[in-house]
A and B are shown apart, each in its own frame.
Chain A
Amino acid sequence: MDMVKAAKELLLQDRVDIFLGYHKLDGHQIPHGFTKARVADLDQLEISLNRYPLEKIACDLAQKDPTLKIGILARDCSQRALNLLYTWDQLNPENIETLTVNCCPSSLSTHGDCSYLKPKTTGEYKKAHGIDYNDSPKDFMAEHDSQDRLSRWMYEFQKCIKCYGCRNVCPVCFCKECSLEHPNLVEPGVLPAEVPIFHLIRATHMAGRCIDCGLCEDACPAHIPLRMLYREVNDAVSDIFGYVPGDHIEKSPFSIIGKTVELTPAPMDV
C-alpha cells in the first residue's frame, strides 16, 4: 500500500497519536512528528536516505507520555532497535505501530532505501595502519596476530575526541546513568580520551545490545570503525548464548539482575 495513504489511515483512525517519519525542510531531509491536526503534511512524507534514530525519539516521547501511541517509519534496523527496546521495557509494543520500509534489496525487490547500500571506502593509510570498515571480525582475527590487532585498534582509538556521539546517537542506549560518565571509570573533562578503556567500556555494554544499525559509525568524527568493534563483541554473545539482539522479541540473556539465573554455563574460550 502507498506509504502516505497508510500513514494517513493510522492517524485518521486514531491508531496512533503521532507518526514519526521524514520530510524535507530547507532542503534537508529531517525527521518530523506528523499529527492528526495537520494530516495534510503527510503528503510531504519522505523515506529519506539520511537515517536518524527515530526509535530514540519515540523513547523521548514515551518518557513524557507513556500512553502515547506512536507510529514509526521503520527500516530493518529500526525494527531490530524496536524489538530490543520492547525487551528492555523502554517502549510498549502495544503503543507502537510501524510502517516498514524496503531498505535492503533482494531478488524479490530490487529497490531499496538505505544509506548503506554502497560499502564504505577505506583510505590507503587506514588500511595500512588501522582497520578496514568492510573487514569482518572473523577475517580480521584470522589475518592479524594479537600485537598487530592491538596496534591497529589503538591507532583507531587514539583519534577519539570524546564527543560521546556514539552513545548519544545510539537507539539502544537508554540508561539513565551511563558508565561513560562515571568519574571513577572515565575522568570527566580530560582529553585525550583514555584509550582503549573508554571504547572497551562502551563495547562491553554493547554486547547483547547492539543491533548493528551503524549510526554510531556515521556520527563518529574520528572515523573509528565502531560497527566492527560491536560486531566482534556481539559475535561472542551469539556464540555463547545463541542470542542475536533485536532479532526477535525475546529476553536478553543479560536481563537477569535480581532474578534466578536459569542459564546453562558455557565455556568462555570462543
Chain B
Amino acid sequence: MDCEFVPSVCSYCGTGCGVLFEVIDGRINRTLPLKSHPVNQGKLCIKGWNLHEYINSYMRLKGPLVRENGRLEKATWDEAVNQAARRFTRIKEEHGPDSIGVLVSAKITNEENYLAQKLTRAVIGTNNVDHCARL
C-alpha cells in the first residue's frame, strides 16, 4: 500500500490556505491543514477540511457535454468549444456584447482567471466579468 502527502492550495476561495492531501493508493482520502503554511498556519474552515469530497464526487464532470434536443450529451472538446464559440458569436451579433456576462471561479488558477477576463474584455468585448471569490 502506498501513502503519500501532497501539499496544495485550497481552491474554495481567494484566501489561499495551504492544505495537505492524504493520498492512499493514488486516491485522495483526507484533507489536512498545512501546518507550516504562512496563510492559514495549520487552520482551515469547514470547506477546506472537506476539499477531498468534490474531487472524489461521482457527480464531478470529467468531460465536455453539449445540450442537444434538451439533453446533455457527451461530446469532444473540439465539438463543445466550436459550438460554444458559434452560439456566443450569434448572441453577440444579435444582442450586443453586453448581453454576455462571465463568472470566473476560485477553483481555477490565477493565470486561467486572467485569461478568462482577457477573453471577456478583448474577444467578447464586455466588462461584465466577476469572480466567485470577490469576498
Residues of A at the B interface (CB closer than 8 Å) are 17-18, 20, 25-33, 35, 50-53, 57, 60-61, 64-65, 68, 161-165, 168-169, 218-221
Q: In angstroms, how far is the closest chain B Cβ from the Cβ of A41?
A: 10
Chain B interface (Cβ < 8 Å from any Cβ of A): 1-5, 7, 18, 20, 22, 24-25, 29-30, 32-37, 40, 42-46, 48-49
Classify the secondary structure of B's interface with A: mixed
B36 proximity list for chain A (CB < 8 A): 27-30, 50
3 A-B pairs closest in CB distance: A33-B3, A50-B35, A221-B43
Contact B37 A28 (CB under 8 A): yes
Kindly state the separation between the CA atoms of A91 and B3 in the bound complex, as whole angstroms: 17
Q: Are B24 and A64 in touch, CB under 8 angstroms?
A: yes
**Total A-B pairs, Cβ < 8 A:** 82
Q: What is the bound-complex CA distance between A20 and B3, given in angstroms?
A: 9
A169-B33, A221-B44 known, 14 other contacts, Cβ within 8 Å: A18-B3, A25-B7, A30-B7, A30-B20, A30-B34, A32-B3, A32-B4, A50-B36, A57-B22, A61-B3, A61-B24, A163-B46, A165-B44, A219-B43
* Chain A interface main SS type: mixed
Pull 20 A–B residue pairs with CB atoms less than 8 Å apart, ordered by A.
Answer: A25-B5, A26-B7, A28-B18, A28-B36, A30-B5, A32-B3, A32-B4, A33-B1, A33-B2, A33-B4, A50-B35, A51-B35, A52-B35, A68-B1, A163-B43, A163-B46, A164-B46, A165-B49, A169-B32, A219-B33
A29, B4: Cα distance in complex, Å: 13
Q: Chain A's nearest CB lies how many Å from the CB of B10?
A: 12
CB-CB < 8 A to A27: which residues of B? Answer: 36
Q: Give the residue name and chain of the A residue nearest to B7 (CB).
A: A28
Q: How far is the CA of A219 from the CA of B37 in the complex (A)?
A: 13
State A65–B3 Cα separation when bound (angstroms).
12
Q: Are B1 and A18 in contact (CB under 8 A)?
A: yes
Give Cα distance in the complex from A196 to B2, angstroms.
41
B24–A35 touching, CB < 8 Å: no
Minimum CB–CB distance for B15 against chain A, Å: 11
A219 to B48, CA, bound (A): 12
Cβ of A219: which chain B residues have Cβ within 8 Å of it? 33, 42-44
Given contacts A28-B36, A163-B49, A164-B49, contact A60 B29 (CB under 8 A): yes
Q: Among A18, A51, A52, A164, find the residue whose CB has the most chain B CB atoms closer than 10 A.
A: A52
A159→B12 CA distance, assembly (Å): 22
| Chain B residue contacts of A65, Cβ below 8 A | 1
Q: Chain B residues with Cβ under 8 A from A220's Cβ?
A: 43
* Min C-beta distance of A55 to chain B, whole Å: 13
CA distance A180 to B40 in the complex (A): 24
